[in-house]
């Protein structure tokens, strides 16, 4: 066994779980490190507090003198927790989080120093924007960008740093981050949903979109990861034969959590509690060493921040436990991949979940309004929704017979399908009194009972209604939820604006009453969105064919899917809602296609290196042993030797063929890469990487994996799947 592989396994086997201090009550430490309403109430004047609340609820501006007061209170609060630095914490378009720390410390002459932090530093900072992806905005508008405080997401203390959530924008106003468009989309859906909700309750003033994500991940011992250059550099294995035991016994899902992983989770949960991330659920996932963690849902902007923060914290806590967290959507071929289900709903400031059934027929008509509008929005924008979850890594998971396919469809369950069928037959125009009573009592009125036993969840659907929320399941485990949430909330906002216009038009023109108008519009929508509804097996081949017949898109790769991001339709959508300008949209697209090409490029280089420098030399070594063996047999048996060396001779030949295949494919792949790298247009470059470079991965891997099965285990340099997945 190679030294590295040997020590990696030895080290990981010898690790004991890190001891976790005695449990404290979660509720006692919850949000202790967050400058939230409670902390603010204790330290701010009434005026300052009211001003922050007003900014959070209505997006109003906070004036400078008040900002100074808040900054000073924040600083005192942070210093009391042993903090020395502060940072504007933001989410650039790399998908990760960024921070630049500054000390509170300042000198005031005469060899004296103080801790200082004013409103100016709280509200605005200027990191160097030129090192973050900006998709050409740099060239057009200079590199300068600034971060600006987002009061809707509370500041928090992590380690010895006060982190202030911020947006990141260019001086010319263009968004350079994930948060800015999200906040704009949330405003759009708020306004549009309030207008529609007022049909049912005049008192509604605000609608919040909520998000509850479910984060899946793998935990692999850090030493084992260090022995795999592919995991180190790309987050996934680029080769490796599946182990003889995988997940076929289904013995991992919800099974008892291994001790080391449990210690990690408890430690992680404590950190989350302190940071106010309301994590609640933890369990084993389908694959060995795969787990899931889910919080209680929150307002979407906060939930997105919390997921980004969580991913950072997960990495940091993992270091203490000698683990590496694999967030990749498909770290191991042939083994279940990881996703990040986005549970989404809309709720009013009057406490109503607009996607939950109510107690009265009228509240259920409201439910149907939002339910049907969401489905219509997905139907009309399925391509954009698909694009919102596209990434090089998620490509490996989508449609891989374990995750939703690349076709977007909506699952609503048998009972609600029946309700929609009945509503579809509603008479055009004014309803008769009998019809109205019937609908209210027997169709709409019965929804709550129906939903109670709506347990037949279809796990294969990318977008499923699950009782009181929609669950967007195609989101990848590495994703920043901001992008899919920006798209989902934008398309729903647009649809709700249309719904209101359609209903108002009927009320205005034909003297139709409100309920009649709503029923009529719902009926029309149901007729229009049928193609998107699918209750069957989303993993099956048959669905792909059926979806094609229905005219649904099926973009199998990221470069193909991303095109929807820059279509005329998308530009019109985002511009009409003030979510993004054409310039911002195009810049983002540039960044995404560039990221894709770089991603495949790195994988291709890594694979080429491992294949040539690890696999081939090992194969040659083993082949030489076989050759020596054959020579020995020949020395003993002379002419008869073949009788005793037949197998060895076949192995020698097979190894030669595979070495040849690997080497020639690596050469061809490198040549294609050279061609790709001289393409100037980023979109074409991404397509070239996808169509011409990536296909070699499978071919090269195939032969490497075959060699793994042939070659003496003692010689094989790379830690094997069984060791990565079953060592604990």
- In the complex, the residues that contact ligand ADP under the rule CB under 6 A are 210-212, 214, 294-297, 343-345, 353, 466, 468-469
Chain mean position to CA 607: 25
Beta strands in 353-480 (DSSP E): 410-411, 463-465, 470-472
Phi-psi map region of 93: left, alpha, beta (phi>0 left; psi -120 to 50 alpha): alpha
Structure tokens at 480: 């920043």
Cα 182 to Cα 301: distance, rounded to the nearest angstrom: 7
At its nearest, how many Å lie between Mg ion and the CB of residue 418? 24
Chain mean position to CA 670: 31
Q: Which is nearer to ligand ADP, 122 or 482 (CB)?
A: 482
Helix 361-380 × helix 179-197 angle, to 10°: 140
At its nearest, how many Å lie between ligand ADP and the CB of residue 278? 8
Q: Per-residue contact track with Mg ion, 502 to 541, x per CB under 5 A?
A: ----------------------------------------
Cα 452 to Cα 726: distance, rounded to the nearest angstrom: 40
Q: Which residue shows structure tokens 């260019």? A: 170
Helix 300-320 × helix 259-274 angle, to 10°: 130
Q: Which is nearer to Mg ion, 198 or 283 (CB)?
A: 283
The binder of 331, among ligand ADP, Mg ion, none, by C-beta within 5 to 8 A per type, is none
At its nearest, how many Å lie between ligand ADP and the CB of residue 466? 6
At its nearest, how many Å lie between ligand ADP and the CB of residue 36? 19
Rg (CA), the chain: 29
What's the angle, vertex CA 309, arms to CA 159 and CA 53, rounded to 5? 90
655 closest CA partner among 684, 628, 616: 616
Long-range contacts of the stretch 609-614 (C-beta < 8 A, 24+):
609/229, 610/229, 610/230, 610/238, 610/239, 610/704, 610/718, 611/239, 611/662, 611/663, 611/666, 611/700, 611/704, 612/662, 612/663, 612/666, 614/229, 614/717, 614/718
Query: Applying CB under 5 A, does 75 fall inside the site for Mg ion?
Result: no
The binder of 353, among ligand ADP, Mg ion, none, by C-beta within 5 to 8 A per type, is ligand ADP
Chain mean position to CA 526: 30
Q: Which is nearer to ligand ADP, 454 or 557 (CB)?
A: 454
At its nearest, how many Å lie between ligand ADP and the CB of residue 247? 18
CB neighbours of residue 541 within 10 Å:
9
- Coil/strand/helix, residue 216: strand
Q: Which is nearer to Mg ion, 169 or 294 (CB)?
A: 294
Q: Which is nearer to Mg ion, 322 or 457 (CB)?
A: 457
Structure tokens at 511: 């003297």
The binder of 301, among Mg ion, ligand ADP, none, by C-beta within 5 to 8 A per type, is none
Q: Which is nearer to ligand ADP, 134 or 345 (CB)?
A: 345
Task: Determine the residue with CB nearest Mg ion.
Answer: 341
Task: Determine the residue with CB nearest ligand ADP.
Answer: 212
Q: Per-residue contact track with Mg ion, 333 to 352, x per CB under 5 A?
A: --------x-----------
At its nearest, how many Å lie between Mg ion and the CB of residue 380? 25
Q: Which is nearer to Mg ion, 67 or 451 (CB)?
A: 451
At its nearest, how many Å lie between ligand ADP and the CB of residue 359? 17
The binder of 294, among ligand ADP, Mg ion, none, by C-beta within 5 to 8 A per type, is ligand ADP
Q: Which is nearer to Mg ion, 212 or 559 (CB)?
A: 212
Q: Which is nearer to ligand ADP, 397 or 599 (CB)?
A: 397
CB neighbours of residue 250 within 10 Å:
9
- Coil/strand/helix, residue 135: coil
Cα 245 to Cα 647: distance, rounded to the nearest angstrom: 27
At its nearest, how many Å lie between ligand ADP and the CB of residue 362? 20
Chain mean position to CA 693: 26
Cα 487 to Cα 481: distance, rounded to the nearest angstrom: 10
Number of residues that bind Mg ion (CB under 5 A): 1
- Coil/strand/helix, residue 280: strand
Q: Which is nearer to ligand ADP, 232 or 296 (CB)?
A: 296
At its nearest, how many Å lie between Mg ion and the CB of residue 475? 11
At its nearest, how many Å lie between Mg ion and the CB of residue 457? 8
Q: Which is nearer to Mg ion, 344 or 519 (CB)?
A: 344
Q: What string of DSSP letters covers 428-460?
A: SSSPPHHHHHHIIIIIITTHHHHHHT-----TT
The binder of 486, among Mg ion, ligand ADP, none, by C-beta within 5 to 8 A per type, is none
Q: Which is nearer to ligand ADP, 280 or 675 (CB)?
A: 280
Structure tokens at 116: 């200082």
The binder of 344, among ligand ADP, Mg ion, none, by C-beta within 5 to 8 A per type, is ligand ADP
The binder of 469, among Mg ion, ligand ADP, none, by C-beta within 5 to 8 A per type, is ligand ADP
Cα 271 to Cα 267: distance, rounded to the nearest angstrom: 7
The binder of 296, among ligand ADP, Mg ion, none, by C-beta within 5 to 8 A per type, is ligand ADP
At its nearest, how many Å lie between Mg ion and the CB of residue 213? 9
Q: Which is nearer to ligand ADP, 294 or 669 (CB)?
A: 294
472 closest CA partner among 573, 561, 403: 403
Structure tokens at 614: 């690890």
The binder of 54, among Mg ion, ligand ADP, none, by C-beta within 5 to 8 A per type, is none
At its nearest, how many Å lie between Mg ion and the CB of residue 529? 23
Q: Which is nearer to ligand ADP, 210 or 237 (CB)?
A: 210
At its nearest, how many Å lie between ligand ADP and the CB of residue 268? 16
The binder of 337, among Mg ion, ligand ADP, none, by C-beta within 5 to 8 A per type, is none
* Residues between 84 and 143 with contacts to Mg ion, criterion CB under 5 A: none
At its nearest, how many Å lie between ligand ADP and the CB of residue 395? 24
What's the angle, vertex CA 686, arms to CA 681 and CA 689, rounded to 5? 125
- Coil/strand/helix, residue 464: strand
At its nearest, how many Å lie between ligand ADP and the CB of residue 485? 11
CB neighbours of residue 711 within 10 Å:
21
- Indicate the burial class of 79 (C-beta count within 10 angstroms; 0-12, 13-18, 19 or more): middle
Q: Which is nearer to ligand ADP, 470 or 574 (CB)?
A: 470
Question: Which spans of this chain sit near Mg ion (rule: CB under 5 A)?
Answer: 341
């Amino acid at each position: 066994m190679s030294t590295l592989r040997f020590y990696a396994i030895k080290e990981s086997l010898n690790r004991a779980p890190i001891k976790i201090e005695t449990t404290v009550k979660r509720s006692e430490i919850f949000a202790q490190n967050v400058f939230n309403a409670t902390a603010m109430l204790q330290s701010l004047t009434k005026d300052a507090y009211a001003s922050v609340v007003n900014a959070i609820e209505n997006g109003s501006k906070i004036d400078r003198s008040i900002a100074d007061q808040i900054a000073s209170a924040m600083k005192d609060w942070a210093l009391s927790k042993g903090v020395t630095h502060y940072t504007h914490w933001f989410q650039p378009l790399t998908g990760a989080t960024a921070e630049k720390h500054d000390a509170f410390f300042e000198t005031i002459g005469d060899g004296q120093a103080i801790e200082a932090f004013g409103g100016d530093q709280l509200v605005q900072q200027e990191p160097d924007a030129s090192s973050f992806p900006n998709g050409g905005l740099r060239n057009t508008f200079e590199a300068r960008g600034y971060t600006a405080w987002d009061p809707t997401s509370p500041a928090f203390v992590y380690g010895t740093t006060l982190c202030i959530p911020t947006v990141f924008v260019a001086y010319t106003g263009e968004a350079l981050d994930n948060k800015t468009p999200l906040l704009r989309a949330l405003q759009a859906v708020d306004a549009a949903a309030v207008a529609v909700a007022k049909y049912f309750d005049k008192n509604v003033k605000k609608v919040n979109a909520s998000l509850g994500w479910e984060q899946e991940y793998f935990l692999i011992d850090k030493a084992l990861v260090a022995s795999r250059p592919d995991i180190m550099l790309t987050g996934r294995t680029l080769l490796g034969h599946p182990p003889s035991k995988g997940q076929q016994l289904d013995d991992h899902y919800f099974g008892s959590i291994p001790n080391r992983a449990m210690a990690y989770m408890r430690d992680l949960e404590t950190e989350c509690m302190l940071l106010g991330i309301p994590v609640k659920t933890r369990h084993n996932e389908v694959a060995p060493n795969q787990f899931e963690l889910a919080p209680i849902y929150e307002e979407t902007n906060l939930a997105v921040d919390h997921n980004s923060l969580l991913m950072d914290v997960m990495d940091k806590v993992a270091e203490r436990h000698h683990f590496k967290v694999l967030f990749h959507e498909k770290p191991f071929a042939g083994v279940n991949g990881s996703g990040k289900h986005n549970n989404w709903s809309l709720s009013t400031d009057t406490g109503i979940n607009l996607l939950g059934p109510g107690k009265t027929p009228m509240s259920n008509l409201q439910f149907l309004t939002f339910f049907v509008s969401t489905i219509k929005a997905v139907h009309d924008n399925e391509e954009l929704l698909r694009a919102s979850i596209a990434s090089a890594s998620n490509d490996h998971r989508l449609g891989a017979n374990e995750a939703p396919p690349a076709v977007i469809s909506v699952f609503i369950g048998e009972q609600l399908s029946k309700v929609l069928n009945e509503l579809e037959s509603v008479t055009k125009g004014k309803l008769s009194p009998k019809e109205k009573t019937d609908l209210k009592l027997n169709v709409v009125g019965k929804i709550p009972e129906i939903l109670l036993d709506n347990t037949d969840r279809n796990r294969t659907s990318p977008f499923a209604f699950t009782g009181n929320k929609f669950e967007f399941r195609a989101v990848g485990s590495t994703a920043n939820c901001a992008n899919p949430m920006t798209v989902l909330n934008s398309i729903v906002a647009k649809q709700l604006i249309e719904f209101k216009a359609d209903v108002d038009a009927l009320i205005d023109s034909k003297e139709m009453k409100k309920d009649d108008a709503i029923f009529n519009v719902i009926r029309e929508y149901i007729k229009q969105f049928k193609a998107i509804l699918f209750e069957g097996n989303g993993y099956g081949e048959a669905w792909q064919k059926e979806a094609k017949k229905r005219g649904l898109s099926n973009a199998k790769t990221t470069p193909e899917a991303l095109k929807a991001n820059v279509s005329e339709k998308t530009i019109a959508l985002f511009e009409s809602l003030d979510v993004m300008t054409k310039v911002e949209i195009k810049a983002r697209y540039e960044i995404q296609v560039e990221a894709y090409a770089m991603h495949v490029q790195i994988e291709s280089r890594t694979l080429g290196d491992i294949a040539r420098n690890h696999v081939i030399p090992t194969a040659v070594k083993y082949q030489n042993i076989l050759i020596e063996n054959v020579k020995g047999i020949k020395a003993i048996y002379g002419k008869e030797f073949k009788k005793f060396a037949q197998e060895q001779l076949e192995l020698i030949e097979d190894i030669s063929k595979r070495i040849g295949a690997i080497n020639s494919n690596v050469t061809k792949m490198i040549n294609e890469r050279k061609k790709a790298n001289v393409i100037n247009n980023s979109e074409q470059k991404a397509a070239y990487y996808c169509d011409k470079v990536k296909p070699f991965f499978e071919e090269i891997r195939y032969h490497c994996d075959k060699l793994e099965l042939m070659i003496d285990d003692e010689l094989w340099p790379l830690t094997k799947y069984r060791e990565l997945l079953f060592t604990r």
